[in-house]
Protein backbone atom coordinates (compact mmCIF):
# COMPACT_ATOMS: atom_id res chain seq x y z
CA UNK A 1 0.00 0.00 0.00
CA UNK A 2 1.33 3.44 -0.89
CA UNK A 3 2.27 5.91 1.80
CA UNK A 4 -0.45 8.64 1.79
CA UNK A 5 2.12 11.29 2.79
CA UNK A 6 4.16 10.62 -0.36
CA UNK A 7 1.03 10.93 -2.49
CA UNK A 8 0.06 14.15 -0.68
CA UNK A 9 3.57 15.57 -1.17
CA UNK A 10 3.51 14.79 -4.88
CA UNK A 11 0.07 16.38 -5.20
CA UNK A 12 1.32 19.50 -3.40
CA UNK A 13 4.28 19.66 -5.81
CA UNK A 14 1.99 19.41 -8.83
CA UNK A 15 -0.31 22.10 -7.40
CA UNK A 16 2.62 24.45 -6.80
CA UNK A 17 3.93 23.76 -10.28
CA UNK A 18 0.45 24.48 -11.71
CA UNK A 19 0.36 27.82 -9.89
CA UNK A 20 3.79 28.61 -11.29
CA UNK A 21 2.62 27.66 -14.79
CA UNK A 22 -0.34 30.01 -14.50
CA UNK A 23 2.04 32.86 -13.75
CA UNK A 24 4.42 31.95 -16.58
CA UNK A 25 1.66 31.45 -19.14
CA UNK A 26 0.21 34.85 -18.29
CA UNK A 27 3.56 36.56 -18.88
CA UNK A 28 3.58 37.45 -22.57
CA UNK A 29 7.34 37.65 -23.03
CA UNK A 30 8.38 34.63 -20.96
CA UNK A 31 11.88 33.48 -21.83
CA UNK A 32 12.99 29.95 -22.57
CA UNK A 33 16.36 28.50 -21.60
CA UNK A 34 19.42 28.80 -23.84
CA UNK A 35 21.04 25.47 -22.94
CA UNK A 36 20.54 21.87 -24.02
CA UNK A 37 17.52 21.41 -21.83
CA UNK A 38 14.40 19.44 -22.62
CA UNK A 39 10.97 18.76 -21.22
CA UNK A 40 8.87 15.73 -22.09
CA UNK A 41 5.10 16.02 -22.54
CA UNK A 42 3.09 12.95 -23.48
CA UNK A 43 -0.68 12.89 -23.82
CA UNK A 44 -3.08 10.10 -24.57
CA UNK A 45 -4.72 9.94 -27.98
CA UNK A 46 -7.27 7.46 -26.61
CA UNK A 47 -8.29 6.43 -23.09
CA UNK A 48 -5.80 3.57 -22.77
CA UNK A 49 -3.14 5.76 -24.36
CA UNK A 50 -3.72 8.37 -21.64
CA UNK A 51 -2.78 5.79 -19.01
CA UNK A 52 0.42 4.86 -20.83
CA UNK A 53 1.29 8.51 -21.54
CA UNK A 54 1.09 9.11 -17.79
CA UNK A 55 3.52 6.29 -17.08
CA UNK A 56 6.02 6.57 -19.94
CA UNK A 57 7.23 10.19 -19.71
CA UNK A 58 9.12 9.40 -16.48
CA UNK A 59 11.21 6.54 -17.96
CA UNK A 60 11.91 8.60 -21.10
CA UNK A 61 13.11 11.49 -18.91
CA UNK A 62 15.24 9.00 -16.95
CA UNK A 63 16.98 7.84 -20.12
CA UNK A 64 17.64 11.45 -21.16
CA UNK A 65 19.01 12.30 -17.68
CA UNK A 66 21.80 9.77 -18.20
CA UNK A 67 23.38 12.09 -20.78
CA UNK A 68 25.47 14.68 -18.94
CA UNK A 69 25.20 17.14 -21.86
CA UNK A 70 21.44 17.51 -21.33
CA UNK A 71 19.40 19.17 -18.60
CA UNK A 72 15.93 17.72 -18.08
CA UNK A 73 13.00 19.72 -16.71
CA UNK A 74 11.79 19.21 -13.17
CA UNK A 75 9.34 16.29 -12.94
CA UNK A 76 6.63 18.34 -11.22
CA UNK A 77 6.78 20.98 -13.97
CA UNK A 78 6.58 18.36 -16.73
CA UNK A 79 3.62 16.71 -15.01
CA UNK A 80 1.83 20.04 -14.58
CA UNK A 81 2.45 21.13 -18.19
CA UNK A 82 1.11 17.80 -19.49
CA UNK A 83 -2.32 18.69 -18.09
CA UNK A 84 -2.46 22.01 -19.98
CA UNK A 85 -2.89 22.88 -23.64
CA UNK A 86 0.16 24.96 -24.53
CA UNK A 87 2.24 25.89 -27.53
CA UNK A 88 5.83 24.63 -27.55
CA UNK A 89 6.99 28.16 -26.65
CA UNK A 90 4.63 28.36 -23.66
CA UNK A 91 5.58 24.86 -22.51
CA UNK A 92 9.30 25.63 -22.83
CA UNK A 93 8.96 28.82 -20.79
CA UNK A 94 6.85 27.06 -18.16
CA UNK A 95 9.36 24.21 -17.79
CA UNK A 96 12.40 26.51 -18.17
CA UNK A 97 13.77 24.47 -21.08
CA UNK A 98 14.95 25.17 -24.62
CA UNK A 99 13.50 22.05 -26.26
CA UNK A 100 10.13 20.36 -25.82
CA UNK A 101 9.37 16.77 -26.78
CA UNK A 102 5.63 16.50 -27.32
CA UNK A 103 3.94 13.25 -28.11
CA UNK A 104 0.68 11.41 -28.35
CA UNK A 105 0.32 7.82 -27.18
CA UNK A 106 -2.22 5.47 -28.72
CA UNK A 107 -2.74 2.11 -27.05
CA UNK A 108 -4.99 -0.84 -27.70
CA UNK A 109 -5.00 -4.55 -28.52
CA UNK A 110 -1.60 -5.00 -26.87
CA UNK A 111 -0.02 -2.46 -29.25
CA UNK A 112 1.36 1.02 -28.61
CA UNK A 113 2.13 3.95 -30.89
CA UNK A 114 4.16 6.99 -29.82
CA UNK A 115 3.92 9.94 -32.26
CA UNK A 116 6.71 12.29 -31.16
CA UNK A 117 7.81 15.77 -32.20
CA UNK A 118 10.73 17.81 -30.88
CA UNK A 119 10.31 21.59 -30.88
CA UNK A 120 12.66 24.49 -30.28
CA UNK A 121 10.83 26.48 -27.61
CA UNK A 122 12.43 29.75 -28.77
CA UNK A 123 10.48 29.89 -32.02
CA UNK A 124 8.19 26.84 -31.94
CA UNK A 125 9.96 25.31 -34.93
CA UNK A 126 9.69 21.53 -35.25
CA UNK A 127 13.19 20.01 -35.31
CA UNK A 128 12.49 16.29 -35.38
CA UNK A 129 9.60 13.86 -35.58
CA UNK A 130 9.24 10.11 -35.45
CA UNK A 131 6.85 7.30 -34.63
CA UNK A 132 7.69 4.43 -32.30
CA UNK A 133 5.54 1.33 -32.25
CA UNK A 134 5.70 -1.46 -29.74
CA UNK A 135 3.77 -4.41 -28.48
CA UNK A 136 2.96 -5.09 -24.85
CA UNK A 137 5.92 -7.46 -24.42
CA UNK A 138 8.45 -4.79 -25.48
CA UNK A 139 6.95 -1.62 -23.94
CA UNK A 140 9.77 -1.47 -21.38
CA UNK A 141 12.32 -0.90 -24.16
CA UNK A 142 10.48 2.05 -25.71
CA UNK A 143 12.02 4.75 -23.43
CA UNK A 144 15.54 3.55 -24.30
CA UNK A 145 14.70 3.50 -28.02
CA UNK A 146 13.20 6.99 -27.85
CA UNK A 147 16.16 8.33 -25.88
CA UNK A 148 18.61 6.70 -28.29
CA UNK A 149 16.98 8.48 -31.23
CA UNK A 150 16.30 11.78 -29.46
CA UNK A 151 19.70 12.46 -27.88
CA UNK A 152 21.53 12.84 -31.24
CA UNK A 153 18.74 15.15 -32.48
CA UNK A 154 19.11 17.31 -29.37
CA UNK A 155 22.90 17.44 -29.71
CA UNK A 156 22.62 18.38 -33.38
CA UNK A 157 20.20 21.23 -32.65
CA UNK A 158 21.78 24.67 -32.77
CA UNK A 159 21.71 26.68 -29.57
The per-residue pLDDT for range 81-100, each reduced to its tens digit, is 999 999 999 999 999 999 99
Domain count of the chain?
1
Interior/surface letters 20-44, b for 16+ CB within 10 angstroms, e for the rest: bbeebbeeeebebbeebbbbbbbbb
| Domain encompassing residue 78 | 4-156
Query: What element of type H or E holds 128?
Result: strand 126-135
| pLDDT tier at 30, thresholds 50, 70, 90 | low
CATH of the domain at 76: 3.40.50.10070
Environment class of 105 (CB within 10 Å of its CB; exposed 0-12, middle 13-18, buried 19+): buried
CA distance 53 to 156: 26
| Model pLDDT, residue 32 | 82
pLDDT in tens, 128-147: 999 999 998 999 999 999 99
pLDDT at 13: 54
As a whole number, mean pLDDT of residues 21-30 equals 44
pTM of the model: 0.80
DSSP, collapsed to helix, strand or coil, labels residue 110 as coil
What value does the mean pLDDT take over residues 31-42? 91
The answer on pLDDT for 24 being more than 60 is: no
Q: Rounded mean pLDDT of the chain?
A: 85
pLDDT at 27 over 50: no
Amino acid sequence: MRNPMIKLGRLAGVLLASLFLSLVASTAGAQVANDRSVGVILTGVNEEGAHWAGTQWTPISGVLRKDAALRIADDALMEAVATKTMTPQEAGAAMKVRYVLMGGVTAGSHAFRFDLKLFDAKDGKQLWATVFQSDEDNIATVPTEIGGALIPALKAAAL
